[in-house]
Copies of this chain bind each other. A is one copy, B any other.
Amino acid sequence: MTGLERFSVNQMTVRQLPLPELFSACRELGVGQVGLWREPVREYGLTETAALVRDAGLRVTTLCRGGFLTATDPEARAAALADNRRAVVEAATLGTDTLVLVSGGLPPGAKDLRAARERVADALTDLAPYAESHGVRLAVEPLHPMLAADRCVVSTLDQALALAERFPAHQVGVAVDTYHVWWDDRAPAAIARAGAAGRLHTFQLADWTTPLPAGVLDGRGQLGDGSVDFGEWQRHVDAAGYTGPVEVELFNEHLWARDGREVLAETVARFRKCAGG
């Protein structure tokens, strides 16, 4: 037991590390699982990345991210669906069964969150069977309500689950990230419901630190630096029957400015101290 059996590092946490360096750092630290992002994977090459993953003996826990399915313009909608089908193929090629979906924000000038969520549901009707045929599950991720207008109209785990529940559990589930749900007193009950239905498709960690930076995207705190009680959330997902990976995904300018191997070592140490380790 290394205490890292369930740990996975999302590559955005140390995005300053090129993939070969990330994987060698993982090997040195005893990290056996990674979450990958489409852009850096594409940059390195999809088949090249898949080969690198195999050679390193790593497991890919998630691919982030599909989604952005809220456009009203027919051409933009068609392009988004096509892009999500590519994301499904990429996930399958990388050997992960989980594609995380960030739903997308309101189109310019729009004010109707409910209608935008319905367009996400429509898109899932198209994508979910396609994903299943590639052995990939879709994980709808609620993002913090501060991102509802410009990034993700799905703001709560209740909403994400309501979308997922329209489809079979092996097609569509939810992604639980402590950063996005920590404030929500209804999230524990939603976790229990999601777990009972087999829809807890991934569990991610980041801490809530203040003050938030401008644009509020890149201020996700290192574990232990903020207000999130990771033990409590781990107990919630454990009680819901979740036995999968626990992925640390930090978007943080300060961490990105530092040496990537040092940040990864720190993240491992913090995981052991604060979370499941």
A: residues with CB less than 8 A from B are 106, 110-114, 144-146, 148-150, 155-156, 159, 183-185, 208, 210-216, 226-229, 232
CB pair A216–B146 under 8 Å, yes or no, is yes
Q: How far is the CA of A148 from the CA of B183 in the complex (A)?
A: 7
| Chain B residues with CB under 8 A of A156 | 185
Output the least CB separation between A31 and chain B (Å): 26
Report the nearest B residue to A184, measured CB to CB: B145
- Give the one of A156, A214, A227 with max B CB within 10 A: A227
Q: How far is the CA of A112 from the CA of B232 in the complex (A)?
A: 10
Copies of this subunit? 2
Output the least CB separation between A145 and chain B (Å): 4
Output the least CB separation between A266 and chain B (Å): 20
Selected A-B contacts with CB under 8 Å, 15 pairs: A111-B228, A111-B229, A112-B229, A114-B185, A145-B184, A146-B212, A148-B183, A148-B208, A148-B227, A150-B210, A150-B211, A155-B183, A211-B214, A211-B216, A212-B212
| Chain B residues with CB under 8 A of A216 | 146, 211-212, 216
Q: How far is the CA of A159 from the CA of B183 in the complex (A)?
A: 11
Q: How far is the CA of A35 from the CA of B156 in the complex (A)?
A: 32
| Chain B residues with CB under 8 A of A144 | 145-146
Output the least CB separation between A134 and chain B (Å): 32
Output the least CB separation between A226 and chain B (Å): 7
CB pair B214–A212 under 8 Å, yes or no, is yes
Report the nearest B residue to A112, measured CB to CB: B229
| Chain B residues with CB under 8 A of A149 | 183, 208, 210, 226-227
8 nearest CB pairs, A to B? A146-B146, A214-B214, A148-B183, A145-B183, A111-B229, A149-B227, A211-B215, A150-B210
Output the least CB separation between A158 and chain B (Å): 8
CB pair A159–B185 under 8 Å, yes or no, is yes
Q: How far is the CA of A144 from the CA of B148 in the complex (A)?
A: 12
